[in-house]
Amino acid sequence: MQLQQLIDRHWVDYTRQNPSVQKIYNLLTSQGEKVRHDHIAFRTFSDPRVNIDVLEKPFLDAGYREMGTYTFTRKHAFAKHYELPGDEENLRVFISQLQTEELSPFIRQTMAGLVNEIPGESLEPEKLMFLGTPWGPLSYETYQKLRDESEYAAWMYAFGFRVNHFAISINGLGKYDTPEKVNDLLKGRGYIMNQSGGEIKGSRKQLLEQSSIMADHNQVAFREGTHGIPACYYEFTKRYRDEKNRLFNGFITQSADKIFESTNYYEK
């Protein structure tokens, strides 16, 4: 599959599964904005059958290079980011994984059990990244028990392999050229922003500002019945240039740590 086809397919699934995304995209384009994305993000587990080294393959094959690593101690997660060299407007790729070996036996066993249920032929990266939850009926009790220890683990259990979010490049917008303006527009339309660590994560001094809406609720069928739980969200990033006029292309660990919480459980 060509890279652009792969990204387009993720976009179709993501907008279908998370109605707020297409609404926000349309809201900006209806105001004359041309929306370009800064990055796309995926989540997975540290299990060598499905880890970052597996999911990165289609991007490396397309010419992406690994440009940064990030450790989230409290969340027991690790991430890498990738760029297409020589293109400031490239769609960056951010892939994180839950370090299950650092977590309780319950999480380790549950997560390994999920990976065991993936049919061998589906472990091929370009299939795996679209797979969703190929594991047996979901249990709401398990979902809640995972949440008690790790929101990340619970999210992976309920939603599995899919794009976690796209991020709009505020640098590419005209009228809405700051995170404050984007956030005000969205709040005015009733969207709930992620407030963890402040509505805007990072700063001009750190050369990166980020904000995001809280994830859309999806109706998920559990063995015990259907529950509305947070699925995926939309993010907004503004990048700045350093004193040598180089655009900052990386991510800030402390900010990304808070952005992760856009999929934390909340009542709607």
Question: What residue ranges bind Ni ion (CB under 5 A)?
Answer: 41, 167, 235
Minimum Å gap between C-beta 195 and Ni ion is 16
Question: Cβ distance 231 to 17 under 8 Å?
Answer: yes
User: What sections of 31-164 are H helices per DSSP?
Assistant: 52-55, 57-61, 105-116, 125-128, 140-149, 151-159
Minimum Å gap between C-beta 94 and Ni ion is 6
Closest CB to Ni ion among 33 and 261?
261
Task: Give me the residue label for tokens 């969340």.
Answer: 75
Closest CB to Ni ion among 77 and 167?
167
Minimum Å gap between C-beta 92 and Ni ion is 9
Contacts for 77 with CB less than 8 Å, ≥ 6 apart: 71, 96, 97, 98, 99, 152, 260
Closest CA to 263 of 177, 160, 165: 165
The 8-class DSSP code of residue 132 comes to B
Closest CB to Ni ion among 64 and 143?
64
Minimum Å gap between C-beta 267 and Ni ion is 24
Closest CB to Ni ion among 47 and 235?
235
Closest CB to Ni ion among 83 and 235?
235
Minimum Å gap between C-beta 210 and Ni ion is 7
- Strands 37-45 and 92-98, sheet pairing: parallel
The side-by-side arrangement of strands in the sheet containing 92-98 is 65-72, 77-83, 92-98, 37-45, 163-169, 233-239, 208-212, 201-203
Minimum Å gap between C-beta 166 and Ni ion is 8
Closest CB to Ni ion among 52 and 118?
52
Residue 43: its H or E element: strand 37-45
Burial track 246-268 (b if 16+ CB lie within 10 A, e otherwise): eeebebbeebbbbbbbbbbeeee
Residue 153: helix, strand or coil by DSSP? helix
Closest CB to Ni ion among 147 and 201?
201
Minimum Å gap between C-beta 41 and Ni ion is 5
Minimum Å gap between C-beta 179 and Ni ion is 13
Closest CB to Ni ion among 122 and 196?
196
Residue 25: its H or E element: helix 19-30
Contacts for 104 with CB less than 8 Å, ≥ 6 apart: 149
